[in-house]
Amino acid sequence: WKISFKTEPELLFLKSQSPSETLLSIRLLDFKTSLLETIEELRIRRETEINYEDQLSKIVVEKQELEWQKETLQHQTDTLQQQTKEAMAAFKKQVAKQMLPGKYQLAVEIKEKEINGLKETLKELQVNYYFH
């Protein structure tokens, strides 16, 4: 939209008009100028609104994608935590199984030492009994 300026013949025409006609022409020119300014402001506003709507749409799509990624990562985290929990339980069972024979063997060794100790004590008591 362009505001046209009056050419020289138009200005001469305005000078040839009566004062009321000139005032009317000036008012008409002022109205046209205001109308053109308003139209330009509306065009700028419309473009701005369209740009805002486009940006808002992009933000909404990006937000949805981020929410999906978050849900996916949360699911993966939950799965990994469950797998870790199961792996730890299996590991504890395996360690307990491996320690069980060791516990029995240790108990047997302790009992054997106790038995040997008692035998030695018995021998000493018998020796002391026979020699006293």
**Which residue matches tokens 């205001």?**
34
Taking the model in full, what pTM does it have?
0.49
pLDDT at 3 over 50: no
Transcribe 55-116 into DSSP letters.
HHHHHHHHHHHHHHHHHHHHHHHHHHHHHHHHHHHHHHHHHHHHHHHHHHHHHHHHHHHHHH
CB 14 within 8 A of CB 22: yes
Tell me the percentage of the chain whose pLDDT exceeds 90: 57
Which one-letter DSSP state was computed for residue 17? S
Rounded CA separation 65/48 (Å): 26
Render pLDDT for 18-49 as a digit per residue (tens, 0 to 9): 778 878 888 999 999 999 999 999 999 999 99
Percent of the chain with pLDDT over 70: 86
User: Confidence band (pLDDT; 50, 70, 90) for 1?
Assistant: very low
